[in-house]
Structure 1
Amino acid sequence: MAAPADPISTTIAHFKVLSNHDRAPLHEMQHNARSGARSQVSLLDNAKSEVERPRVSTDLLLPATLKLDAAHLISSPYLDFSNQLDLQSLDLPYKLFAFALTALHPIRGDYATAPYLESFNWSEVFAILRAFCVETGYQWQELGFYTVIFRSTLQPDIDRERLGLLDKKSHEEACASGGLLKYWFGTCNEERRNLATCLWRSREDARAGGSGPWHAQARAAARTMYESITFHVHKLVVEDGAAAWRLEEFQ
């Protein structure tokens, strides 16, 4: 996927928290592909609710351009080789998940403010993951992924070209470091609000990937380019068989 033509859609990734007063609610979202149901468990009062969700067929066509023996993968809006994921450094489950994440896309227009798990086509992503597991003979066992969610509001008059450069070069640093399985960003809405997300193999990968000089420049620029920005860290847990998944706050 090519990067959006409007540079304002680019959201700086991998910077430290500038504002943390607007943290995500303390809750865990859990989805189950077998039942098609969703439950939300509050960590404050343990209240539970069941909401019926449409079933998504697992009989999906695998992305035709993906080759499981490939050495590199386009895993972000950036197509350059320096922005591609090195698959040779990944064990099989991480490689399969990275392939499945190439199908990730938003399913609602208000993703900048909507709940994270309700904003993307996760059912399709995990159906593809299960199909890849079948193809490779791999039995998926529960595994967690370090997930960073960026929610931001841009200043009205920013240097969009500079913002795009900082984002792209920061992503190159993360790719060179390794372990960034997916980077996605949306397009700013009419209020200049946006969402970006990174899914990493581990917290250690994220720390290493964000330690370079371009990230330092991005952190400094963020103070003048954004009206507000929040940084939420979670663990996306994919349960046995990749049939259910949940989002937990990272401890």
Structure 2
Amino acid sequence: MENVVISGAYPGRDGAVAPARAGQQCPFLAGSEGTAKRYAETRQDESLRAALKLLRPASDDFWVGDYAQSFNWDEIGREYERQLGAHAGLPERASEDGWYAVVFRSKRNPECNHRDLFDADRAAYTEAFEATNGALLVYWFTGLDADNNCLATCVWTGRDIARSVNALPRHKEAARLSAGAYIHYHIDRYGIAWDRARRRLHVAPWGGESAR
């Protein structure tokens, strides 16, 4: 699907970056401080990275619907379980803490410079992937619809490492360029965990945390 961007290809571990396409970006610009944290590969994280290549909407109202119900998490969970065997040679996670997802829904100002925003966003996520050594497992976004609405989501190995990248220079530049770019936006945070008993991924709001 052209609206799916997997961190393994955006940017890839070989440094390659997907071609820029005007009008297809939605930056995540929550505040943070400090230095970007570094990720070390684990069996669980790399298995989820591979499984998230299947990420796609499961309902027609995914733009505004419940995140836990709007995507094919059951299919991704089955693939995750399969991938655990394929990545058996990697170290295990130090804890069973789940993954951290951010959902950014916005309505873009039609008069903003979409191309500059896209290029800044692409640079910011290249920077984030490289600075954390691949902690960004997936970045998925749609293009703008007829009403300039957009949805984007990214899944990280953890909350702290996700927040750490927002203090990086290219993320700050993306934040500067985004001023006035949105008519409105809404950010939600979710936790994703593997339910061993039910052999499925469990997706739920991160402590009810949200921001407008």
> Equivalent residue of 1:231, what SS?
strand
Q: Give the superposition deviation at 1:222.
A: 1.9
Q: Give the superposition deviation at 1:159.
A: 1.0
Write the distance in 1 (CA, Å) between the matches of 2:127 and 2:107: 24
Is residue 173–residue 210 contact of structure 1 (8 Å, CA) maintained in 2?
no
Q: Give the superposition deviation at 1:142.
A: 4.9
- Quick check: 121-130 or 216-225, which moved more? 216-225
Q: How does 1:180-191 map to 2 (within 5 A)?
A: 180-191=136-147
Does residue 145 of structure 1 match 2:102? no
Does residue 196 of structure 1 match 2:156? no
Which of the residues 101, 112, 122 maps onto 2:52?
101
Q: Give the superposition deviation at 1:244.
A: 4.3
Does residue 122 of structure 1 match 2:122? no
Write the distance in 2 (CA, Å) between the matches of 1:154 and 1:118: 25
Structure 2 partner of 1:247: 204
Q: Which amino acid aligns with 1:233?
A: R
Write the distance in 1 (CA, Å) between the matches of 2:169 and 2:87: 39
> Equivalent residue of 1:9, what SS?
coil
- Provide, for residues 185-214 of structure 1, a one-character-per-residue CA deviation record: whole Å limited to 9, x for no partner: 112222211111111111121122222111
Q: Give the superposition deviation at 1:104.
A: 0.8
- Work out the number of aligned pairs and report it: 181
Q: Give the superposition deviation at 1:147.
A: 1.1
Q: Give the superposition deviation at 1:167.
A: 0.9
- Quick check: 234-243 or 223-232, which moved more? 234-243
Write the distance in 2 (CA, Å) between the matches of 1:106 and 1:183: 14
Is residue 153–residue 192 contact of structure 1 (8 Å, CA) maintained in 2?
yes
Q: Which amino acid aligns with 1:203?
A: R
- Provide, for residues 125-167 of structure 1, a one-character-per-residue CA deviation record: whole Å limited to 9, x for no partner: 1111111224455999954111111111100122121011011
**Please, which runs of 5 or more residues in structure 1 have no aligned partner?**
18-85
Which of the residues 24, 27, 40 maps onto 1:12?
27
Q: Give the superposition deviation at 1:3.
A: 6.1
Structure 2 partner of 1:238: 194
Structure whose alpha-carbon radius of gyration is higher? 1
Q: Which amino acid aligns with 1:9?
A: Q
**Please, which runs of 5 or more residues in structure 2 have no aligned partner?**
5-19, 32-37
Structure 2 partner of 1:133: 84
Q: Which amino acid aligns with 1:171?
A: Y
> Equivalent residue of 1:12, what SS?
coil
- Runs of 4 or more off by more than 3 Å in structure 1? 1-6, 134-143
Structure 1 partner of 2:124: 170
Q: Give the superposition deviation at 1:110.
A: 2.9
Write the distance in 1 (CA, Å) between the matches of 2:158 and 2:164: 10
Q: Share of identical aligned residues, percent?
A: 23
Write the distance in 2 (CA, Å) between the matches of 1:180 and 1:167: 14
Is residue 96–residue 129 contact of structure 1 (8 Å, CA) maintained in 2?
yes
Normalising by structure 1, what TM-score? 0.64
Write the distance in 2 (CA, Å) between the matches of 1:192 and 1:154: 5
Change (3 A) 1:204 1:143: closer
